[in-house]
Structure 1
Amino acid sequence: MECLTVKQVADIKGCSQQYIRKIIGQGKITAIEAEEPINHRIQYLIPVETLPEDLRQKYYASIATDGPPVPKEKAVKKEKAKAKKPFEAYTKKEREEIMQWCEILEIWQKKRNHFESKVEGDRNVVGYLKCEYPDKQISVDILYRKYAAYKAGDFGGLLDGRGGWNRGKSAVPEVLFLQFLYFYLDDRQPAVSVCYRATVDAAKELYPEMVAQFPSEQSFRRKLKKEVPEAVVRYMRLGEKECFDKAAPYIERWYDDTEANDVWIADNHTWDVMVMRDDGSEVVHRMYLTAFLDAKSGVLTGWNVTDNPCSDSTIFALRHGILRHGIPKVCYFDNGTEFLTYDIAGRGHRTRKSQRDVPKPETILAKLGIEMKNAIVRNAKAKPIERTFSTLKEHISKLMTGYCGGKPSERPESLKRQLKNGSIPVDSEFREIIDTLIEGQYNQEPYGGTEKAYQGMTRLEVWNESIQNTIQRIASEDDLNLMLMRTTRYQKVKRNGVCIEIAGEKLWYSNADTWQHVGDEVYVRYDPTDLKTVRVYDVEDRFLYTCQVEPALLLNFIEDDKAALADANEIVRSRKKAIRNYAKGITDRLPAEYKIDMLDLSIRKAKLAREGVNIAQSSVIEPIRIDPVKETDHLQELPMASGADNVVSIDIERMNARAEMRKRNKRR
């Protein structure tokens, strides 16, 4: 059986040997594996009978002409002149070499002119230059070649072209590198070595001709570092957020046109400290901080430490800041429900379409003249206060007993012992420590902003100096208490009065006169720290009256306390009695002679109208008569009903009088 080598088949087909090995691996050509006698390596031998018909004919034709078919010579293409690179395109080391050769060429031209024979002068100057530049390879031919490049402005011609012939080239074929990237750029983040081994295995299946000279793992590492941008690697392996946080450009805020109290930034922070309840119960929990940060100075203007970051905590922190530093112009909130509340600043983007045109009471920020701004959703970079919370963690949380860290890896081993011994602070102690450290430590620390004018000053000193350049708006404590009262939505006064909802529970408020306003549309304002009374306003924002909480009307489904039942019934009876007395007072004010029944009034009006009734008749009348002959025969006298001996007469006036009497009795 006659067989051909891979090279012979490639010559006949006019393609590369790699392609023949590839189609052998794909089973398109049948081959036999045999040992090469010279180097004992395995090689492919292809039987002539298994070749496709066209290749077999070419092979037989080559035998007839004593050689394989000679391929046509390709036209020689003229090489394009290399583009000259500017001087800045070379590296620092290359620029230094170019400058040195320019210096050598200038010396050569000056000294050779002193000789009558330029040939003799060149030999002498070359000897001199070799002594002056022993590290350079200098000869007459080199000088002429470098000088020609120098005159042509070709800086590349002045460089030593030896070495680096394969600079910028890689031993990794593009198809293998793409296969490697397919494995490596995966969000499961496989290691480079794992991807390299997977690429080798894939090459054995898909590219068997490349396995013999497969590049090393280090070649893949170099090509990966050189050709794939770090941003793309982060995007494909770590995700969009990690990529944009580390590789995307960011916006730097400019504070030169901002003054103190122009913008306050609000947010909540979870303290990384375990605390206990004040009542001595062993309920371990973490507290929260609701804080307002002045954008200009970095001062924490107002704060509130709470175990429930809610809208009430936001109002307490705002009140704390206004009493100490005045009223800001703008409050910068994120999109949490504790800030986007209908009575603080409105619902913002959380407003439902069905509620956008519904009238609402004036918000707290509107009463204070504060403009609300909202950060982009899920964009922590928009809130500089996040950096402040990191500082609070480092400067305050880590100083305290009970520090637990923000994640399990940060939790100290001593925490378990502290919790067991109960040596962690209680709520009230923790609040006092936080107030002291924020006021006396954090606000007194050096200013960390970018403005050079305030370098070397503390945060509070920056605020004190900046506030002199603007108008500071302040409010008295009494006025502030009134303006910071919470507001309900519009509601109608019901039988039990008006209500507010606290922690999912409805509290009803009323007074002795609430029953007079049932059905009126109002809204309620209340102080979260004092829920004994509320203030009621109409839809035009006019104050109407004050209501008190009615706990006596809230009873258990089965109430055993007789005193509680008696109190509730007494309130109900008093309201009913007031309604009766009010109604009686209305009817009693009308004189008796004017108390006329509406039916009697209607009858009188009808009688007066009846006397003047004149029914007009037509000028042409057609009488209609009965035929007595036809009708009298059928008329029969009807018998009188049984018991109808006496005729009954109906007295209408007597009936009206009795009806009037019954109505007067009911009114009494």
Structure 2
Amino acid sequence: VQLGRLSGTTQVHAVKIVASEQQVSPRTIYNWIALVEGLAAADRLAYLAPRPPRQRTKKEDRAKFQLFMDWLKSAYLRLESPDFAPCYRSAVTIAKQNGWPFPIQKTAKRWIDAEVPRTTQVYLRQGAKGLQRCFPAQIRDRSGLHAMEAVNADCHKIDVFVKWPDGTVNRPQIVVFQDLYSGKFLSWRVDHDPNKIMVMAAFGEMVDNWGIPKRCLFDNGLEFANKWMTAGAPTRFRFKIREDDPIGVLPLLGIKIHWASLASGQSKPIERSFGDVAKIIAKDPRFSGAYVGNRPTAKPENYGSRAIPAAEFLEVLEEGIEEHNTRTGRRSDTAKGRSFDETFAESYASASVLKATEEQRNLWLMGQGTAKLHKHNGSLKFHGNVYHCDWMSQEANRKVVVRFDPEDLHSGVHIYSLEGAHLGFAECQQKIGFFDLEGALATAKRKRKIVKTEKILAELHTPLSPEQLSADLNKHRKETTALMETKVVKPVFPKNPGVSSFRQHSNPSVEAAQEVLIQQMVPSRKKPAKPSKRTVFKVADTPEERFSQARDIERRQENGDQVEEREAAWLEGYQGHSEYEAMTALKKAFGGDTAG
């Protein structure tokens, strides 16, 4: 074709001549020209040489390798992440023992990669965490927030050995509250291990200095999910939940709680800031010899040669956190080259942030517990001490929430209802010496004052005396209605009791002898008879006995004998009763005296 072009023939005509001579189609000639275009004439033959076609195994032919491939995939796709070569060798050994056919190693690996997706291989060999790394992290936009709208907090173990005043040497833990909008560190505390006391102290410092946030982002660690902080939150799943648990500080302040995954740097922005702290603060030149490395395999050569005193450590830590907040050139969407402090200050100046009251400060400055007031006097016995104030007598036998200073139980306690309402303050009742006259006089004076006050209150609340109440009731007393009488009268026939005697046979001579003997035994001078005991009048139980009582009182009145006032009053009321009239009618109808 090239020679034809040189002789003045067009390329199309030259291709047609060559194609007819070689007995190929013109399209084939054009394809050959494209393969060697731009190449030297000496190199064209190698590019035009035909390559042998690949002899790939057809899918229907792979069925005979199925048992081998199943064993190989099960051995290779494990969480231990073994290398492919030893797994293949083990599979070949099993295949030879069982007579299975097997492909070469490269072919087996290519088949696994073609059949099992990459993400599935990662999940089987690295687990769920490895699978998460296959996808990009969620990008959260903070530009819609403002300063102190939301905060997040977490604990971090600093990679420095510190010597505490009690002689303990360990790596301290720091808890930090960070503003989500700006990234500024708002407050922090340091202790041996993460605990609710340090979390409450850091939270209280943040609220005192900057205000109450609307949202808090925590992980579900014990130091954040403790009952002092988050009891009552709807999605809190830590510790045993009881109905009488006091509501935690955050729900009481109206702060919405968001729970993040544990050890997930993608969920909490503060994890990224801790990386900055680990690089700058932990490796400060003043901590030389005390740095321990961020993992066991990264220990420096001077590991354990020094421990920093706690006071010096806290000074350097404070400087590092200050430098972290004031460093310019931050590249976040909200900072835009400014420092965290500048970003926070600009938004904070125009933000609407709630400030805590003095009563709300008690929520995080003190520990809390539930107790029950004494059922009579309302006093509180808590941690071996007794607390009381006058107002507590009105709340006797009530379950309450006690907020106290763990370091000074004698300073008194604040008492709240289970719903979170502040009831009052109670002082610690100090024990008084058994013979302490001054203490006894003070107690007696206090009791007299309380009684005097209660008398005044009693007069105010009871303006009418019992005599006035009685007079008002007697003034408007209605006449007693007559008792209802029955129209049907059932007669009662009493049975005459049989006569019984202890002596069945009398002997006149014996009786006369007994009478003489009795007369001899009686002294000549008789003693005055003792007055009979006064019996108390009692109304009988049956109708017959009551009628008999009435007849006896009537006889005594007719004869002029003594009748008690109570007996006369009862008779007067009984004579107007239908029972008396019925019994009188029976007496007249059938004769005889039923009373006799």
Mark yes or no: TM-score above 0.5. Answer: yes
Match of 1:261 in 2: 148
Name the aligned partner's letter for residue 398 of structure 1.
K
Q: How does 1:571-590 map to 2 (within 5 A)?
A: none
What SS class does the counterpart of residue 313 from structure 1 fall into? helix
**Other-structure match for 1:330:** 215
Please report how far the alpha carbon of residue 118 of structure 1 lies from its aligned counterpart in structure 2 after TM superposition: 7.4
Counterpart Cα distance in 2 of 1:188 and 1:587: 83
Task: Tell me how far 1:219 sits from its aligned partner.
Answer: 4.7
The AA in structure 2 aligned to 1:412 is P
Q: Aligned-pair distance for 1:376?
A: 4.5
Range that drifts further, 384-393 or 218-227: 218-227
Q: Distance in 2 between matches of 1:295 and 1:183?
A: 46
Give the drift of 1:288.
1.3
Who is 1:441 aligned against?
324
Amino acid of the structure 2 residue aligned with 1:497: S
**Cα distance in structure 2, aligned partners of 1:174 and 1:507:** 81
Q: Distance in 2 between matches of 1:168 and 1:461?
A: 66
Structure 2 partner of 1:195: 87
Q: Aligned runs of 1:164-563 on 2, under 5 Å?
A: 165-166=53-54, 174-175=65-66, 176-207=68-99, 210=101, 215=104, 217-221=105-109, 224=112, 228-241=116-129, 243-278=130-165, 281-348=166-233, 349-350=235-236, 358=243, 363-366=248-251, 368-376=253-261, 379-399=264-284, 400-401=287-288, 402-418=290-306, 424-444=307-327, 446-449=329-332, 451=333, 454-467=335-348, 470-473=350-353, 475=355, 481-482=361-362, 484-486=364-366, 488=368, 491-494=371-374, 497-498=379-380, 508-511=386-389, 517-526=395-404, 531=409, 532-538=411-417, 543-549=422-428
Structure 1 residues 528, 473: closer, same or farther in 2, change over 3 A? Answer: farther
Q: Relative to 1, partners in 2 of residues 1:232 and 1:576: Cα closer, same or farther, differing over 3 Å?
A: farther
Tell me the secondary structure at the aligned position of residue 338 of structure 1. coil
* Distance in structure 2 (CA, Å) of the matches to 1:277 and 1:388: 26
Contact 2:292 2:304 in 1 (8 A): no
Aligned mates of 1:620, 1:219 — CA distance in 2 = 118
Deviations 1:596-652 (A, max 9, x none): 9xxxx9xxx9xxx9x97965654665654557xx65645899xxxxxx986311479
> What do the CA deviations read for 1:469-490 (whole angstroms, capped 9, x no partner)?
x414253785763464447466
Q: CA deviation at 1:543?
A: 4.3
Contact 1:269 1:289 (8 Å CA) reproduced: yes
| 8 Å Cα contact 2:247/2:418 also seen in 1 | no
Q: Measure how far apart 1:204 and its partner are.
A: 0.9
Q: Secondary structure at the match of 1:166?
A: coil
Q: Scaled by the length of structure 2, what TM-score is found?
A: 0.64
Give the C-alpha shift of residue 205 in structure 1: 1.5
SS of 1:273's equivalent in the other structure is: coil
**Whole-Å separation in 2 of the counterparts to 1:585 and 1:397:** 65
- Superposed CA offset, 1:75-134 (max 9, x none): xxxxxxxxxxxxxxxxxxxxxxxxxxxxx9xx99x979x8599766745899xxxxxxxx
Unaligned runs of 5+ in 2: 34-46, 504-528, 538-596
Following the alignment from structure 1 to structure 2, what is the Cα–Cα distance between the partners of residues 320 and 122? 92
Task: Quickly say closer, same or farther: Cα 1:434–1:249, change in 2 above 3 A.
Answer: same
Per-residue deviation, residues 270-323 of structure 1 (Å, max 9, x unmatched): 222221222xx4321222111112222222122112224222322221232334
> Take 1:567 and 1:271, find their aligned partners in 2: how far apart are those partners?
57
Q: Higher Cα Rg: structure 1 or 2?
A: 2
Shift in Å at residue 459 of structure 1?
A: 2.4
Q: Which whole-Å CA distance do the structure 2 matches of 1:442 and 1:224 have between them?
A: 51
Normalised by the length of structure 1, the TM-score is 0.58
Cα separation, partners in 2 of 1:480 and 1:568, compared to 1, 3 Å: farther
Q: Give, as a single letter, the amino acid of the residue that structure 2 aligns with 1:246.
A: R
Identity of aligned residues (%): 21
Amino acid corresponding to residue 313 of structure 1 in structure 2? M
Question: What is the one-letter code of the residue matched to 2:412?
Answer: T
Aligned length: 480
Note if contact 1:341-1:347 (Cα within 8 Å) is conserved in structure 2: no
**CA deviation after TM superposition for structure 1 residue 533, in Å:** 2.7
Q: Which residue of 2 aligns with 1:26?
A: none
How many Å separate the matches in 2 of 1:497 and 1:164? 100
CA distance in 1, matches of 2:490, 2:226: 84
> 1:197: Cα distance to partner?
1.8
Instruction: Give, in whole Å, the separation in 1 of the partners of 2:12 and 2:346.
Output: 79
**1:405-424 deviation digits (Å, cap 9, x = unpaired):** 34322233423332xxxxx2
Shift of 1:195: 1.4
Q: Alpha-carbon deviation of 1:510?
A: 3.3
* CA distance, structure 1, for counterparts of residue 444 and residue 53 of structure 2: 107
| Conservation of the 8 A alpha-carbon contact between 1:536 and 1:544 | yes
The offset of 1:347, in angstroms, is 4.3
- Displacement after TM superposition at 1:198 (Å): 0.8
Amino acid at match of 2:95: A
Distance in 2 (alpha carbons) for counterparts of 1:389 and 1:427: 20
> What is the CA–CA distance in structure 2 between the aligned matches of 1:161 and 1:329, rounded to whole Å?
75
User: Structure 1, residues 37-61: CA drift from partner, whole Å, max 9, x if none?
Assistant: xxxxxxxxxxxxxxxxxxxxxxxxx
Q: Which letter does structure 1 place at the counterpart of 2:236?
A: R
Give the secondary-structure state (helix, strand or coil) at the position aligned to 1:416: coil
5+ unaligned residues in a row in structure 1: which ranges? 1-103, 127-137, 151-158, 419-423, 554-563, 638-643, 653-668
Q: Which moved more, 1:580-589 or 1:337-346?
A: 580-589
SS at match of 1:256: coil
1:312-336 CA-partner distances (Å, limit 9, x unpaired): 3222212323344443221112212
